[in-house]
């Protein structure tokens, strides 16, 4: 097999990275934009010892699950990888991704139900992060997502995955940045002013917080001028902030954020609780799907416990802790980001909640010092999952049930394997579709210690 070779194959399955998998003479080939049961002619684009990559030359017989993407930019934008597949079948594919990870990585043959679908499959993404650049000759500002496997920006004027007001705000910035003498960022040479535009949109009151991420370390008139223009031209904008990031890094936000106009927060509502969300604090991008997750955890606690002591670890703005506080004797919330802890306290006051105890610091360090036993522990770590030390401490502190909330099936499977080897029972694993039309999938595992 060599570059440029062509084959006619049938796609067998979908991988955990959203690629179609086919075989020829038992040699694995990964095909982009391919759906299971597609019969396709492919061309080899890369060859390794154990597999090859390929692209579709012709769809000979389309899969019954293949549909026309609803976004006109699908073929060039890398954000919604599965949009060419019927949504109900996307859920089946994600179910299989979770099942495969658990079996291959965790050695766990669990019965995985279909993901709970997202209540909205368009206009659902309520946090927008657009990289910014500019054309070489005309200096036109470009804003959008990257083409697949590149850092080349697709200039997106309309994205059906996000609220329409976000398109309007981004377009306004495109048109007015140059008038304020603001240039787009050049990643190769680490020059230019505007690196990213981040928008947090509230499904609760339709307000928007706009964050201009600049390649700078200080406030300048050109930045404040653009911030004021945005604030004055959009009644839907609750505030405009500057975030300073002049490091050579792929990390979007820098450590310092300054509010230029309005407020540096927006409010979001989950179940019957209102949350205060900041410019650089974590909150789920799909509030309606997040609501399904919080309700799932809260209902289980309500059915199985009588006012337990709950530990909310990796708490962020303590969304889980605040949501389940009605059913708890007390919630102890631990989060290392001090700004998140401060916003969590504001949210607790806003909701008249008095049975939450907040701690700022590393979860692992907190676990090592805590002496109380918790009937319920909620773990919601980042994509890298939990360290073995953190899991060990959680086992020592938990007297009954751990909820493990994960956005990465691979690290979930790894950590569940560890817990199972320590004698825990994996009661259930329920996927939730948080990231529609992508291969990403959220899971809630219920574990008895």
Cα dihedral: 396, 402, 406, 412 (round 10): 60
Q: Strands of 252-355 (E only): list them.
A: 256-262, 265-270, 273-278, 309-313, 330-335
Rounded to the nearest 5°, which phi and psi values hold at 396? -70, -35
- Number of helices (H), then strands (E), belonging to the chain: the values are 9, 21
| Candidates 166, 407, 424, 436; catalytic one | 407
Q: How far is the C-alpha of 224 from the C-alpha of 222, rounded, in Å?
A: 6
Q: 233: part of which helix (H) or strand (E)?
A: helix 221-233
Q: Is 140 left (phi over 0), alpha (psi -120 to 50) or beta?
A: beta
Locate tokens 């048109």: which residue?
175
If 0-12 CB within 10 Å is exposed, 13-18 middle and 19+ buried, where does residue 171 land? middle
Which residues touch 290 (CB under 8 Å, ≥6 apart)? 270, 284, 319, 434
The alpha helices in 305-400, defined as continuous H runs, are 319-324, 338-350, 363-369, 388-397
Q: Is 424 a catalytic residue?
A: no
The residues annotated as belonging to the active site are 407
């Amino acid at each position: 097999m060599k570059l440029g070779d062509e084959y006619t194959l049938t796609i067998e399955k979908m991988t955990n990275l959203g690629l179609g998998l086919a075989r020829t003479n038992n040699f694995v080939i990964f095909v982009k934009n391919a759906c299971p049961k597609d019969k396709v002619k492919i061309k080899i684009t890369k060859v390794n010892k154990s597999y090859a990559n390929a692209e579709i030359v012709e769809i000979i017989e389309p899969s019954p699950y293949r549909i026309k993407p609803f976004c006109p930019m699908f073929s060039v934008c890398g954000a919604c990888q599965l949009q060419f597949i019927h949504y109900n079948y996307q859920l089946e594919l994600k179910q299989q991704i979770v099942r495969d990870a658990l079996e291959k990585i965790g050695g766990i043959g669990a019965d995985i139900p279909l993901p709970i679908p997202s209540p909205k499959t368009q206009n659902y993404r309520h946090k927008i992060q657009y990289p910014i650049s500019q054309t070489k000759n005309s200096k036109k500002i470009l804003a959008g997502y990257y083409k697949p496997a590149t850092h080349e920006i697709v200039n997106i004027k309309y994205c059906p995955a996000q609220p329409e007001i976000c398109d309007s705000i981004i377009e306004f910035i495109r048109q007015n940045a140059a008038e304020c003498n603001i240039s787009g960022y050049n990643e190769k040479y680490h020059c230019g002013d505007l690196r990213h535009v981040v928008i947090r949109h509230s499904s609760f009151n339709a307000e928007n917080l706009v964050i201009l991420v600049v390649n700078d370390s200080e406030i300048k008139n050109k930045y404040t001028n653009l911030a004021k223009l945005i604030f004055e031209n959009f009644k839907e904008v609750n505030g405009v902030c500057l975030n300073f990031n002049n490091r050579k890094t792929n990390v979007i936000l820098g450590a310092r954020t300054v509010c230029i106009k309005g407020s540096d927060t927006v409010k979001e509502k989950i179940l019957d609780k209102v949350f205060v969300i900041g410019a650089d604090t974590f909150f789920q991008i799909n509030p309606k799907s997040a609501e399904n997750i919080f309700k799932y955890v809260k209902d289980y606690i309500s059915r199985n416990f009588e006012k337990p002591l709950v530990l909310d670890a990796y708490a962020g703005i303590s969304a889980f802790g605040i949501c389940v506080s009605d059913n708890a004797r007390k919630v102890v919330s631990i989060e290392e980001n001090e700004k998140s802890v401060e916003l969590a306290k504001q949210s607790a006051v806003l909701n008249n909640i008095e049975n939450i105890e907040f701690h700022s610091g590393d979860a692992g360090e907190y676990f090592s010092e805590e002496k109380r036993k918790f009937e319920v522990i909620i773990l919601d770590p980042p994509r890298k999952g939990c360290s073995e030390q953190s899991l060990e401490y959680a086992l020592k502190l938990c007297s009954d049930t751990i909820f493990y909330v994960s956005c990465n099936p691979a690290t979930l499977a790894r950590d569940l394997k560890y817990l199972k080897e320590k004698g825990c029972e994996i009661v259930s694993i329920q996927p939730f579709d948080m990231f529609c039309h992508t291969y990403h999938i959220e899971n809630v595992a219920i574990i008895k210690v």
